[in-house]
Amino acid sequence: MLVVPPSQAAPPQAVPLSTSVAGSAIDFPASYPFQPVLETVPDNPADASIARGALPYDEIAPTLNGFMAETDVVSAQVVGESANGWDIHLVTVTAPETAQETAQQARWRDEVKHDAAAAADDEELQAGYKRPIWFNGNIHGNEWEGTDASLNYIEWLVENENTPYVQDLLEHYRLYFTVSNNPDGRIVGTRANGQNLDLNRDFVTNQAAETRIVRDLTAFIQPIFFIDLHGYTGVLQIEPCGPPHGENYDYDLFIGHAYAAALQIEQDVVAAEIPGNTYRDSVTGATSTTKTDTSGIIIPFRDTPDGWDDWPPVFTAQYVAYQGAISYTAELPLGRVSNPETNKANSAVDTAVGFQVIDSTMDYVVENGDAILANQIEIFRRGAAGEPLRTLEVGLDAATIDGPTQWVELWDQGDANGHDLLTGARFPRGYVIPVGDGQRSDSDAAHLVDFLVTHGIEVSRATAAFTSDGVTHPAGSYVVDMHQPLRGLANALLAAGSDISSWVPSMYDISAWSHGYLWGATVTPVGSTTDAELPVPTVAVSGATPTGGLPGAGGYLTFELDGVDDFAGLNALLVDDVPASLVGTGTVVLGNDTATYAAAQEVADEYGVAFRTTSGTELTGADVKPLDELQVAYTGTQDDRLTLSALGFAPEQLTLVSGATLQSAAVTLDDADVLWIGSALTVSPTTQPVAYAEVSDFVAAGKGVAGRGAAASTFATTWYDAQATAVTGNGSGNGVVRLDTVADGVLGALGTEYGFVYPAVSFALAESGHGRVEQTYGTDPLVSGHWRETTATNGPSYAAGRASVYSAELDSGARAVVFGTAVAFRGHPRGHFSEVATALYWTAPAATQDVLTAPVATTTTLALTAGSAVHGGTPAGAVVKVTAASGTASRRGTVEIREDGRLVATGAVNAYGNAKVALPADLAVGEHALVATYLPAPGAALVPSSSGAVTYTVTAAPATVTATVTGSTYGTPAKVAVRVTSPAGTPTGTVRVTVGSSAPITATLVGGAVTVALPATLAVRTHAVTVAYAGDAVTAPAQASTSVTVVRAATTTGLALSRAKVARGGAVTATAVVRVPSASGVAPVGVVKLRVDGTVVATRTLTAADRGRVTFTLPKGATSKRGARAVTVSFAGSSTLLSSVSAARTLTVV
């Protein structure tokens, strides 16, 4: 179960609904027909097809051009080139489509795979989707007739395109034909392609361009039915296969129609009575050209209990089946013979039989296409839903089976193995391909991710760290969520597989493979398919994130040889004459010159090599080997050549040798640095003296050998005194095995835990020899595969604990490494390739020219011109002195002044090792422990060094505070304008303004200034004012004093009479209003007097409650006489307010 912190958990992001294949170079038509004029090639009278009576390759393009000129139902395009550069053609036969219709077909195809639940109920899709059917011809070059049968069937469709049957067929189906999948082999009459690869074994490795083309076409076409046309089995053979059946298939959705279609093909082929065809008697098993009531063909599911299985997806048909197709191999009957006429006659029969196979297949599909499509949709739906595989037990009841049931009575325990409750495959919830410390090889992991996505496997990257089974994987780790349409293919590639040794007596081909165990990367299965959604936030990827990187120039460079691309990058550097040394067996050190950095950048970009800087002191150790470009002489097959090529060795670095070619002097070992033994190299001093002398001189020169199997062990024992006894396991035994690698041995840096054998070779080493065990088979070696013990010494129990790899070293220094594992098998077990490369570099002699110089040690000292400085003021200078052990070397370079790793300052060091660097004036206030690090100039063979720490104190800059007071009348707040200045810049922070003993007022500086309002109620007098600045990170505290004098506030007094004229003795009121203009909020308090003609006639005292207003009633004496009277009021003032008198008001008494 996966665990992430709740704050990081998020639903996985959906992968876009697209069948596009990452890296595919094929451009598919936007509408049909698509009819370019195909390029033709000159006639080739030497084409091996002619002797067979088959169509020569040079006539394929003209034939297709002729079809396209005649009709609009035939389209053809070049989908790639073979190893030798011949065009590979894809023909599509279907009714014409507009661009909109073709786009709709693509949307329906994507819905079938990526939204299968909706597709199952999509009536428009069911009615309008053209079911794709695909026929692949001539993948084995000397099995010609699949091409001829396909072209004959296309011709038949063209000739009958106006018939109701063909018109209906092409309206509802697309028929695809890869006419010749292997032009190289067709032309020269070989099974293999131009690389000498058997293409029909390459689908989980994809070394060949031809299989990469089929891989990409598989995703694009997404066929519901696929037939791969082969030959020759004496009698037509049509799959489905016998047991064991691939454990990762939804076999319940495959076997029904696969077997029923085979039965129809059998019926039709027998009924056709093709002259010269052969039949298998269903009672006796005999082969005859005479048709009887018991005549039939071979159907391995029915007729072959072992030895013709559909277990590994290395075959075309078994690979395509993972796209939900009914998919099988058709083996045409009559093979190659020496008699020319019989050979051609056989070809004619096979072509006719192949035509009938195609025609019968189409008849079956037309009758059952809806059901077959429904099964394909259901396969993808189950995958996306993560449902467990359905079990198929022995004793099935046909009444419970949907679809054809003819197969049910044949289903026995041999078939049920891998599909019943006991032995069936169980999918994990996902696979994690970690990055970082938990990954054995980041470059191998990246290669694996890229490989998976080219096969349409959905891969995502975790956007947050997560924990699985107690192991925390960092963000960026790759996740293969097994709830996906191609979960069967994903598991077939990543799982270990099963030990099937007890299931069947023999297998047709390999019994185990595993990218998760054999490709060098750490891959971890997680949980069960029935678990809930993976609680890992992810984002879908279309390829791996580049792993390469190069640090800034300065130091020596180093990288680890963790994966195949790391070794390829090393070879590229050596080919470019970049001086390099191997430290131990897994670390490479390069120089620090400009040319090396430029070459390293190219290697980082192209091969994903992750460089780091280093001091170069590793070069002074004991286990250091200078390296040079390797010239490799080798024996063996294409497996050995392609393995060496994968490690970066170019053709000009590889020389194929044999005893015969060495004897004839066609080749020599003079320029070879190391010898790889993939097959026997035995030379006799009596019958092959020249060859013997070549090998003898090679070993005497201290040159080494590495190789595989008993042949390499014989060579190492003969020439390197290994004194090893090799024991070869069961010749057909193959599988994934457990390995224990000696930690301090030649392969210890790789720490390989799993390997591949076919067969296993184990070794015993005599104590008297020079051999040393480097790796052993585990105590229970077989993880998966088929490896039976048929003698006392050929099974896994005998190999357990015995040496799987050994080394030998003569006193002269000549070395050998021998592998008992199948390190080069079909170019598949990439994890072994790094072992091969390690062995080659370990056994090769050390370079003697252009050797990388070990750097000279240096000493760096640091002194300061002053131990302290004021922040923002004049800083101290750093005086650096670099000395070298040699005493004379130029010490040009750079010095970096750092504090706790943080760069403070940098400067140039002159040839004499001197530098003076001004420290920055803006260093933070406080103590700084400064260290000077010397970095030699590029190309200087000097070791970087660092000084001891020197303390440098930065003090706060002084501050100046100025305070200016404005406004000092009672009731009106006085303001203090504060400004703080400093040579370090504009101070920040706060000031506190205190008036006398009252509470301080705090304010924040803005731009070094702030204005503070004092209380309006300050008493009338002079007050002391203190302004204190608190300081900031770089400015010291400071303060200033001033004062504020508060004076009494001015007042105004107003008077209003209730009447201006009054009868003698009448009543009059006078209202006085006293105000403080400068402070409206102050309520006047004090004595107010009313005067008539200057005589006080009334007195009142204002209180705060009066709010400055008081009303008098004039005494009667003031109105007793007629005439004009002058009335005034006056405010006497107070301790805070000045006095004031109103203007006189005239009162007339009548």
Pair 1102, 1089 in one domain: yes
Q: What's the CATH number where 1056 sits?
A: 2.60.40.1930
Pair 763, 783 in one domain: yes
Cα–Cα distance measured from residue 271 to residue 278, given in angstroms and rounded to the nearest whole number: 12
Residue 326 pairs with which residues in a beta bridge? 225
Beta-strand relationship, 173-178 and 131-137: parallel
Q: What's the CATH number where 898 sits?
A: 2.60.40
Q: What's the CATH number where 599 sits?
A: 3.30.70
> What is the CA 298 to chain-centroid distance, rounded?
46
pLDDT, tens digit, for every residue of 575-589? 999 999 999 999 999
Question: Model confidence at 888, in pLDDT bands (50, 70, 90)?
Answer: low
Q: Is the pLDDT of residue 699 over 90?
A: yes
Pair 1028, 1056 in one domain: no
Q: What's the confidence (pLDDT) of residue 1080?
A: 82
pLDDT, tens digit, for every residue of 925-978? 999 999 999 998 888 888 889 999 999 999 999 999 999 998 889 999 999 999
pLDDT, tens digit, for every residue of 365-412? 999 999 999 999 999 999 999 999 999 999 999 999 999 999 999 999
Q: What's the CATH number where 819 sits?
A: 3.40.50.880
Query: Would 551 be classed as within a structural domain?
Result: no
Residue 754 pairs with which residues in a beta bridge? 738
Pair 742, 761 in one domain: yes
Q: What's the confidence (pLDDT) of residue 555?
A: 85
Query: Would 906 be classed as within a structural domain?
Result: yes
Q: What's the confidence (pLDDT) of residue 509?
A: 95
pLDDT, tens digit, for every residue of 517-561? 999 999 999 999 999 888 889 999 999 999 999 998 778 999 999
Burial grade of 438 (CB within 10 A; 0-12, 13-18, 19 or more): middle
Q: What's the confidence (pLDDT) of residue 409?
A: 96
Amino acid at 1090: L
Among 918, 949, 980, the domain boundary falls at 949
Among 398, 416, 434, the domain boundary falls at 416
Query: Would 954 be classed as within a structural domain?
Result: no
pLDDT greater at residue 469 or residue 436 = 436
Show the domain range for 532. 425-541
Pair 390, 440 in one domain: no
Residue with token string 């139902």: 73
Q: What's the confidence (pLDDT) of residue 892?
A: 92
Query: Would 24 be classed as within a structural domain?
Result: no
Q: What is the mean pLDDT of the chain?
A: 95
Pair 676, 783 in one domain: yes
Query: Would 13 be classed as within a structural domain?
Result: no
Pair 696, 764 in one domain: yes
pLDDT, tens digit, for every residue of 203-217? 999 999 999 999 999
Q: What's the confidence (pLDDT) of residue 967?
A: 81
Among 362, 397, 416, the domain boundary falls at 416
Query: Would 1089 be classed as within a structural domain?
Result: yes
**Span 473-493, average pLDDT:** 97
Residue 228: enclosing H or E segment and its boundaries? Answer: strand 225-231
Task: Please state the φ and ψ torsions of residue 774, each to the nearest 5 degrees.
Answer: -110, -20
Cα–Cα distance measured from residue 733 to residue 501, given in angstroms and rounded to the nearest whole number: 9
Contacts made by residues 1095-1098, CB under 8 angstroms, sequence distance 24+: none
Q: Is the pLDDT of residue 761 over 80?
A: yes
Pair 166, 111 in one domain: yes
Query: Would 955 be classed as within a structural domain?
Result: no
Q: What's the confidence (pLDDT) of residue 17?
A: 40
Question: In Å, what is the CA distance from 650 to each residue of 217, 299, 672, 738, 829?
Answer: 30, 45, 14, 32, 20
Q: What percent of the chain has pLDDT over 90?
A: 92
Pair 385, 429 in one domain: no
Q: Token pair of 939, please?
A: 């190309």
Q: Which of 331, 458, 809, 896 is catalytic?
A: 331
The number of distinct structural domains making up the chain is 7
Q: What is the DSSP string of 825-868?
A: GGG--HHHHHHHHHHHHHHSPPP-SSPPPPPBPEEEEEEES-SE
Alpha helices in 659-750 (DSSP H): 659-663, 689-700, 709-720
Question: Model confidence at 5, in pLDDT bands (50, 70, 90)?
Answer: very low
**Span 22-39, average pLDDT:** 90
Cα–Cα distance measured from residue 281 to residue 64, given in angstroms and rounded to the nearest whole number: 39
User: Could you tell me if 947 and 860 are in contact, meaning their C-beta atoms sit under 8 angstroms apart?
Assistant: yes
Cα–Cα distance measured from residue 313 to residue 512, given in angstroms and rounded to the nearest whole number: 10
Q: Is the pLDDT of residue 16 over 70?
A: no
Q: What is the DSSP string of 991-1044?
A: EEEEETTSPPEEEE-BTTEEEEEPPTT--SSEEEEEEEE---SSB--EEEEEEE
Pair 501, 398 in one domain: no
Query: Would 388 be classed as within a structural domain?
Result: yes
Q: What's the confidence (pLDDT) of residue 938?
A: 86
Q: What's the CATH number where 106 sits?
A: 3.40.630.10
Question: Model confidence at 8, in pLDDT bands (50, 70, 90)?
Answer: very low
Q: What's the CATH number where 974 sits?
A: 2.60.40.10
Q: What's the confidence (pLDDT) of residue 11?
A: 34
Cα–Cα distance measured from residue 238 to residue 261, given in angstroms and rounded to the nearest whole number: 9
Q: Is the pLDDT of residue 22 over 70?
A: no
User: Could you tell me if 647 and 831 are in contact, meaning their C-beta atoms sit under 8 angstroms apart?
Assistant: no
560 tagged catalytic: no
Contacts of 589 (CB under 8 A, 6+ apart): 556, 557, 558, 580, 581, 582, 583, 614, 616, 618, 619, 852
User: Could you tell me if 301 and 243 are in contact, meaning their C-beta atoms sit under 8 angstroms apart?
Assistant: no
Residues in the chain: 1150
Helix (H), strand (E) counts: the chain: 25, 61
Task: Please state the φ and ψ torsions of residue 200, each to the nearest 5 degrees.
Answer: -85, 20
Q: Is the pLDDT of residue 1098 over 90?
A: yes
Residue 100: enclosing H or E segment and its boundaries? Answer: helix 99-114
Residue 1127 pairs with which residues in a beta bridge? 1092, 1145
CB count in 10 Å sphere of residue 1067: 12
Pair 703, 821 in one domain: yes
User: Could you tell me if 187 and 59 are in contact, meaning their C-beta atoms sit under 8 angstroms apart?
Assistant: no
User: Could you tell me if 1051 and 1139 are in contact, meaning their C-beta atoms sit under 8 angstroms apart?
Assistant: yes
Collapse the DSSP code of 478 into the 3-class scheme (helix H, G, I; strand E, B; otherwise coil) and give the result: strand
Q: What's the confidence (pLDDT) of residue 15?
A: 35
Residue 705 pairs with which residues in a beta bridge? 675, 816
Question: Model confidence at 23, in pLDDT bands (50, 70, 90)?
Answer: low
**Span 737-766, average pLDDT:** 98
Cα–Cα distance measured from residue 813 to residue 33, given in angstroms and rounded to the nearest whole number: 68
Pair 249, 152 in one domain: yes
